[in-house]
Amino acid sequence: MRLHVIGLGGAGGRIVDRLAADHGHERFLHGINAFDTDAAALDALRSVDESRRYRFGDAADGSGLDGDLHAARRLGDAHASELGRAMDDENPSVAEAFVLVVGLGGGAGAGAAPALAEELSRLYDAPVYAVGLLPTPAESGTSAGSGESAESAVDRTDAARGSAPESEDREPRRPLAEKNAARTLDALSDRCAALFPFDNDAWLRPGETLRDGRGRLNEVVAERVAALFGAGDSGEAESTPQQVLDASDIARAVGDDGEIAAVGHATQAVDPPESGSRFGLGLFGSDEPAEVDASAAVSAIETTIRKAARGKSTVEVPEGRADRTLLVVGGPPAWLNRQAIADGRRWLAEETGSGAILSGDAPEPDGEAVFAVVLRSGIDEPARVRELRESIA
């Protein structure tokens, strides 16, 4: 499918920069932009072409907004049409979906995202999705004791360390991050077809700070976006899927009501077939199956599907349940055992309780791993999202 991805604000810009670095050569990435009020943050990007970076909001004087969501909303409303025009030379009218990537707890990106989503929905028929990074409790100071404000928690910690309030060796102070995230989630759910939250806190390792883990987390987000939206779009004639995954399949899976969706992903390295057809195991009707042991192929597919379903998703899926589920299985064609994929789909239907299961395959002739993507939509509200909403209750 043809995907146009827009990174908004500092966090969104860093993630699309990683996406461009890792997947910029792939066909699914039809267009890419980074928009921010902070000139220095845009200049720090390395893989998004300079012509695709755009600073907006002269009122911000080229700097960030320090988490001021109200000011950012005003700028977003004032500049949404301008941002839409900044994408014109990338032919956005032929995109099959738009994805806005934004740190929900920030200012510039979180403020501008709802207005840009509304503008893109007005101009084009393609769905607009939002990938939103949830702030960690530590960013707002909410991990402090009950009744203690974010500011006092930070000051107390700094005093204990003997450091100044803006010490470089700790988390940045963003006392409004959770409230910003809650308000932005609400605004985006009204304007986007679906929301893909990414829970930063759940993905941090024990003792790891967001500052330390940022690069790794950005890689995970970029990988999940590419795995879902780029599956089966290699463009190689010999890799034509048997069950083609297209933009309409994703649209049916996630819906169009601004519901929360979660993405699970898993891979398992496999050995290439020693000889015979690259199309093996009868998946594409080959008369000369490659020498891949059927039991090994079945095991690899079963393992990746279960890991993608039960492993860590972009956001918690309460009890693993979902109204709608999409399964994509990919890898070297010789390893894509048709019966194993069908069995995996039936297992996933029982696992999620979904009344609707969609699926597709994504053959990669030069691939070195079998992979599975499990997309679940219409899930119960994750605990972290509920905590954020309660911050403004």
Length of the chain: 393
Instruction: Please report how the helices 177-191 and 383-390 are oriented relative to each other, as an axis angle in degrees rounded to 10.
Output: 110
- Residue among 70, 168, 145 at smallest CA distance from 110: 70
Distances 276 to 230, 279, 291 between C-alpha atoms, Å = 28, 9, 6
> Is residue 139 part of an annotated ligand binding site?
yes
* 80 phi and psi angles, rounded to 5 deg: -60, -45
Pairing of strands 356-363, 53-55: unpaired
Strands 259-269, 369-377: parallel, antiparallel or unpaired by DSSP? antiparallel
Find out whether 337 is annotated in a ligand binding site: no
- For 232, 243, 307, 308, 330, the CA distances from 336, given in Å and listed in that order, are 13, 12, 17, 16, 7
Residue 33 annotated as lining a ligand binding site = no
Three-class secondary structure of residue 383 per DSSP? helix
Q: 293: which residues sit within 8 A by CB, 6+ positions away? A: none
User: Which residues does the annotation place in the binding site for GTP?
Assistant: 139, 200, 218
Please enumerate, by residue number, every residue annotated as part of a binding site.
139, 200, 218
